[in-house]
Amino acid sequence: MSEGVVFIMIYLASQSPRRKELLQQIGVAFQQVHSEIDETPLADEDPEAYVTRMAEEKALAGWRQVTLEQLPPKLVLAADTSVILGMKILGKPKNEQQACDMLLSLSGKSHEVFTAVAVTDGNDLSVKVSRTMVQMTSFDRKVAEAYVATGEPMDKAGAYGIQGKGAVLVDTMTGSYTSVVGLPVKETADLLQSLGIDLWHSQSVKS
């Protein structure tokens, strides 16, 4: 084995570059697998129940992909992030108009960000949920439209990215920054370590 290359430790059932970066940050060697699911909320579904269900279904879909591709059996990790305004779940905007409307609904208000992390070995399923409160600055439609024009909001829950240009729209935050980005590293580390996965490995993994 070449220097700096380690065997993969888990599979990441996500194509999110942000989750990929955060896993790399804590030294977990992984391989990405696809996990397409229906992300439509159920009628009157509680936000925490929704993100938990999404993370679980993504992890199980990832495991099915591992089995389908006959990959070596290892833990599959998945996550789901949702922005919650009141009891309304704000997912990814479908178009620029919806992105602008979402942003304006958040302007000057506080909202919660729920991120659930799920890990499965094909039999057992473990989940942790992180909740973070975010207070947005007050801004008008001109600012919202200018931000939407950057393209950044289009693949983000709630139509903003705290780790990118959208950071200027955030006033204060109470809770986990990495959870708002898309993968709470504390909860993720706790789950993985409880299942025998070590952290802080040097890695170079093709994914």
Write down the mean pLDDT value for the chain: 93
Lowest mean pLDDT among 9-13, 42-46, 50-54, 197-201: 197-201
> Which three-class secondary structure string do you get for 103-138?
HHHHCCCEEEEEEEEEEECCCCEEEEEEEEEEEECC
Looking at the predicted structure, is the pLDDT value of residue 5 above 60?
A: no
- Tokens describing residue 117: 């992390």
Looking at the predicted structure, is the pLDDT value of residue 88 above 50?
A: yes
pLDDT tens, residue by residue, 111-158? 999 999 999 999 999 999 999 999 999 999 999 999 999 999 999 999
Distance CA 89, CA 79 (A): 16
Name residue, tokens 């989940």: 127
Looking at the predicted structure, is the pLDDT value of residue 1 above 50?
A: no
Whole-structure pTM value: 0.91
pLDDT tens, residue by residue, 159-200? 999 999 999 999 999 999 999 999 999 999 999 999 999 898
* Residue positions annotated with a catalytic role: 80
Looking at the predicted structure, is the pLDDT value of residue 204 above 50?
A: no
Taken in order of first residue, the domains within the chain and their CATH numbers are 10-194 (3.90.950.10)
The string over 11-20, giving b where at least 16 C-beta atoms fall within 10 Å of a residue's C-beta and e elsewhere, is bbbbebebbb
Indicate the pairing of strand 170-174 with strand 125-136. Answer: antiparallel
- The pLDDT value recorded for residue 203 is 55
Evaluate whether 31 touches 11 at the Cβ level (below 8 Å).
yes
- Phi, psi at 183, each rounded to 5°: -155, 100
Indicate the pairing of strand 10-12 with strand 30-32. Answer: parallel
Outline where DSSP puts E strands in the chain: 10-12, 30-32, 75-85, 88-90, 110-120, 125-136, 170-174
Identify the band that residue 205 occupies on the pLDDT scale cut at 50, 70 and 90.
very low
Evaluate whether 84 touches 114 at the Cβ level (below 8 Å).
yes
Looking at the predicted structure, is the pLDDT value of residue 68 above 50?
A: yes
Q: What is the dihedral of CA 54, 60, 66, 69, to 10 degrees?
A: -90
